[in-house]
Amino acid sequence: MAMNTRFTIRPDVIFRALGAEAILLNLDGGLYFGLNEVGTRIWMLLADHDGEGVSQALTREFDVTIDEARADVSSLIGELIDRGLLAPADALR
């Protein structure tokens, strides 16, 4: 997936913060998915940024290089898409 892609939360997904961590629930399939602190921050940043924007923000907020941030963002986005929790924004139009 290109880092300049915007993403959207699937309509049947609920997000609940639990301190610095969070849980996602896919109401359609009953799937729970836990996010650590970094995963939660990525999830929140995806509301307003494409993958590259999220990666840039992570380098400012955490002690990571841009390459590490891009790898983490890409990995999490891929997993969220595979689990039906996130989709490219233009796929749900």
Q: Rounded mean pLDDT of the chain?
A: 92
pLDDT tens-digit readout, 27-54: 988 899 999 999 999 999 999 999 999 9
Q: Note the pLDDT of residue 3.
A: 82
What is the domain-level CATH number for residue 19?
3.90.930
What is the residue whose two structure tokens read 């941030």? 69
Tokens of 79: 């997993």
If we measure between CA atoms, which residue out of 38, 32, 36, 30 comes closest to residue 15?
32
What is the residue whose two structure tokens read 């990995």? 75
- pTM value? 0.90
Range of the domain at 68: 7-86
Q: Give the chain's domain count.
A: 1
Alpha helix (H) ranges present in the chain? 37-45, 51-61, 66-82
Is residue 50 domain-resident? Answer: yes
